[in-house]
C-alpha cells in the first residue's frame, strides 16, 4: 500500500532530523509508481542510525589499533609430515568424505559483489574464466559441485548469495545454461542486503536517480544475516546440512568442496567446528593480503594495512616470514554457528569503509554526475570478522589450514596486472601442467620454466591430480591450447 501524505510528512521530518531531507527533493514531481518505490526504499533505511554512520565512517575514518601481544596464528601446514606440526591428512580426508556422503555439506559462493575493478558488465560469476574454454566462473564451480556429488553418491546442494543488483540476472544466467547440468532444485539463490552509498564529503546519501537511492551490497559479511533472513537457513536445516564450504566467485581454482579441509574443520582437536579458514604462505612481506593472527588466543584476520611493516618483515630462524598466513577467503562455516550469530539481535560485524566512484545525480538539480574521482563511501561488512567470535571457552577455536597457492588460488579481481584474467589463465595452466606431469605427461616449458601452452582440466574430468591416472591424455605440443 502506498504511504499516505501523513507518512510522507513523517518520513520527511525523520530525514530532515539527520540531514538527509534531500532524498525526497523530487518526490512531489514523480509519477505515482515511482513515488511508491522511492518511499519504500526510504522507509527501508535505518534512518536514525545514519547520523552516527556518517560521523564514524565519513567525517572520520575509524582508526584500527593493533592490540598488544598479537601473534601469528598457528596453522596446519600443507606438508602434513612437517616436523613443525605433523597431522593425519588421510584420516581427515576420510572424515570429510563421510560428511559429503552423508549429505551434511553444501557449497556456498558469495556472488553479490559489484566486481567494479574487473569492469565486467553483468554478474561476475558469468565472466568467461576457463583458460581455454572460456567457461564462465559459475560453470566451473558447477562442474566441481557435480563431480563431487557423483564421487560421493549424492547431489551436493549449492547456495549462491547474490545482491538485489544482480539477483535476477544471475538466475537468468543459470536458466540459460540449463543450470550447468545440476538439478535446479539443489541450487538456491538468495540476495544479500544493501547499504546506502554516502557522499564522501557531506555524508549525504547519494541518489542514483530522482526516484532511487544509490546503494551497494553490504559486503560478504552480510551473508550471515542474509542466510537467516532469506530462509536459506531453514532450507539448510530441512536438508540436514551441517557445514557450508564458503568461497568467492572470483577464484576458478578454489577447491569448492575439499574433504581434507572439511575433516579438519569438523574434527581437529583444536577446532571449535564453527568457522575455519584456508591460508597460503605470503609470497613476500609487502604482499597485500590479510594475515591470520592470534589476538588474545582468538584467530583473526588483520588487514595488511593494519599490520606494521616491521612485523610483516619479521623472519623466523629458517628464513620464513613469521606472519606468513595469508588469507585467501576460503572458509568452512557451520550452519549452527550461522544460526547462533544470525538469530542473535545483538550480533553485528563492524563496517569497513571503501572510497569509490559512484555515479549519482545532483540532489538539487537532478543532473546526472559521472565522477572522475572517488565521490562516495561504501560501507561493507567482512565475513572474516566472525572468526574472532569462534570458541566457547574450552580452548578450541577457529583453525587455519595451509594450501598450495598454485593448487587453489587464481583470482580474477582486476582487468589487468596482478590477479587478472591473464594471471588466472597462467595459474590454471600451471596447475594443470603439474597434474599432467605427475601423470607422466611431458609438458613443453619455455626458458622461464612456464608452460609453453594453455591448459584447462575440467572438474568433471579430474577433481585432483590423482583422478588423471588412467585417463586418456592427448600429446601436448608447444603452443597448443588443450582442454580436457
Secondary structure percentages of the chain, helix, strand, coil, to 5: 35, 20, 45
Collapsing DSSP states into helix, strand and coil, what is residue 376?
Answer: strand
Distance CA 257, CA 101 (A): 12
* Closer Cβ to ligand UTP, 18 or 383, answer by number: 383
* 72, 96, 112, 196: which one binds ligand UTP (CB under 6 A): 112
380 lies in the binding site for ligand UTP (CB under 6 A):
yes
115 lies in the binding site for ligand UTP (CB under 6 A):
yes
177 lies in the binding site for ligand UTP (CB under 6 A):
no
| Residue carrying C-alpha cell 572438474 | 459
Helix axes 232-239, 223-230, angle to 10 degrees: 70
248 lies in the binding site for ligand UTP (CB under 6 A):
yes
CA 298 distance to own-chain centroid: 22
250 lies in the binding site for ligand UTP (CB under 6 A):
yes
The secondary element (H helix, E strand) that includes residue 434 is helix 421-438
Strands 212-213 and 376-381: unpaired
* Closer Cβ to ligand UTP, 114 or 208, answer by number: 114
230 lies in the binding site for ligand UTP (CB under 6 A):
no
CB of 187 to ligand UTP, least distance (A): 16
Residues in region 143-162 near ligand UTP by CB under 6 A: 161
Collapsing DSSP states into helix, strand and coil, what is residue 482?
Answer: strand
Residue 237 corresponds to which cell in the numbers above?
536445516
CB of 105 to ligand UTP, least distance (A): 19
Helical H segments across 348-420, by residue range: 405-408
Residues in region 285-314 near ligand UTP by CB under 6 A: none
* Closer Cβ to ligand UTP, 116 or 423, answer by number: 116
Q: DSSP label at 179?
A: G
Residue 368 corresponds to which cell in the numbers above?
546526472
* Stretch of residues binding ligand UTP (CB under 6 A), selected from 6-14, 106-114, 141-149, 179-187: 106-114
116 lies in the binding site for ligand UTP (CB under 6 A):
yes
Closest CA relative to residue 252, chosen from 57, 113, 426: 426
219 lies in the binding site for ligand UTP (CB under 6 A):
yes
113 lies in the binding site for ligand UTP (CB under 6 A):
yes
CB of 226 to ligand UTP, least distance (A): 9
| Residue carrying C-alpha cell 544493501 | 194
Residue ranges that bind ligand UTP, judged by CB under 6 A: 110-117, 124, 161, 192, 217-220, 222, 248-250, 380, 413
Amino acid at each position: 500500500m502506498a504511504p499516505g501524505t501523513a507518512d510522507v510528512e513523517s518520513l520527511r521530518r525523520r530525514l530532515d532530523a539527520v540531514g538527509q531531507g534531500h532524498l525526497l527533493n523530487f518526490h512531489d514531481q514523480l509519477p505515482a509508481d515511482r513515488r511508491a518505490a522511492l518511499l519504500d526504499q526510504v522507509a527501508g533505511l535505518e534512518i536514525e542510525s545514519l547520523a552516527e554512520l556518517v560521523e564514524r565512517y565519513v567525517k572520520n575514518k575509524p582508526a584500527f589499533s593493533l592490540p598488544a601481544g598479537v601473534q601469528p596464528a598457528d596453522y596446519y601446514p600443507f606438508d602434513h609430515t612437517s616436523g613443525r606440526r605433523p597431522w593425519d591428512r588421510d584420516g581427515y580426508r576420510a572424515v570429510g568424505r563421510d560428511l559429503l556422503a552423508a549429505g551434511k555439506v553444501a557449497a556456498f559462493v558469495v556472488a553479490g559483489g559489484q566486481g567494479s575493478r574487473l569492469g565486467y558488465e553483468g554478474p561476475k560469476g558469468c565472466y568467461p574464466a576457463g583458460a581455454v574454454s572460456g567457461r564462465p566462473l559459475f560453470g566451473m564451480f558447477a562442474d566441481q559441485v557435480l563431480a563431487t556429488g557423483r564421487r560421493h553418491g549424492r547431489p551436493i546442494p549449492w547456495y549462491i548469495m547474490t545482491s538485489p543488483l544482480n539477483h535476477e540476472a544471475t538466475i537468468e544466467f543459470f536458466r540459460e545454461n540449463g543450470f550447468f547440468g545440476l538439478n535446479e532444485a539443489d541450487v538456491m539463490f538468495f540476495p544479500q542486503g544493501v547499504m546506502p552509498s554516502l557522499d564522501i564529503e557531506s555524508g549525504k546519501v547519494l541518489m542514483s536517480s530522482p526516484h532511487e537511492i544509490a546503494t551497494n551490497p553490504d559486503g560478504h559479511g552480510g551473508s550471515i544475516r542474509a542466510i537467516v533472513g532469506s530462509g536459506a537457513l531453514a532450507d539448510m536445516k530441512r536438508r540436514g546440512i551441517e557445514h557450508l564450504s564458503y568461497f568467492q566467485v572470483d577464484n576458478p581454482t578454489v577447491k569448492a568442496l575439499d574433504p581434507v579441509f572439511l575433516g579438519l574443520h569438523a574434527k581437529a582437536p583444536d577446532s571449535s567446528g564453527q568457522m575455519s579458514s584456508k591460508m597460503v604462505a605470503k609470497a613476500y612481506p609487502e604482499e597485500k593480503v590479510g594475515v591470520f593472527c592470534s589476538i588474545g588466543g582468538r584467530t583473526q584476520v588483520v588487514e595488511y594495512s593494519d599490520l606494521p611493516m616491521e612485523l610483516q618483515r619479521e623472519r623466523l630462524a629458517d628464513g620464513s616470514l613469521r606472519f606468513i598466513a595469508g588469507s585467501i577467503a576460503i572458509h568452512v562455516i557451520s550452519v549452527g554457528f550461522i544460526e547462533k550469530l544470525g538469530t542473535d539481535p545483538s550480533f553485528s560485524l563492524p563496517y569497513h569503509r571503501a572510497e569509490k566512484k559512484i555515479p549519482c545525480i545532483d540532489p538539487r538539480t537532478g543532473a546526472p554526475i559521472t565522477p572522475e574521482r572517488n565521490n562516495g563511501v561504501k560501507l561493507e561488512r567482512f565475513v572474516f570478522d566472525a572468526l574472532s567470535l569462534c570458541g566457547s571457552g574450552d580452548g578450541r577455536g577457529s583453525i587455519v589450514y595451509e594450501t598450495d597457492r598454485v593448487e587453489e588460488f587464481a583470482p580474477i579481481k582486476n582487468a589487468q596486472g596482478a590477479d587478472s584474467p591473464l594471471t588466472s589463465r597462467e595459474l590454471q595452466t600451471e596447475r594443470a601442467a603439474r597434474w599432467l606431469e605427475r601423470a607422466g605427461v611431458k609438458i613443453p616449458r619455455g626458458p622461464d620454466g612456464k608452460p609453453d601452452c594453455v591448459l584447462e582440466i575440467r572438474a568433471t574430468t579430474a577433481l585432483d591430480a590423482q583422478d588423471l591416472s588412467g585417463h586418456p591424455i592427448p600429446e601436448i605440443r608447444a603452443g597448443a591450447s588443450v582442454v580436457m
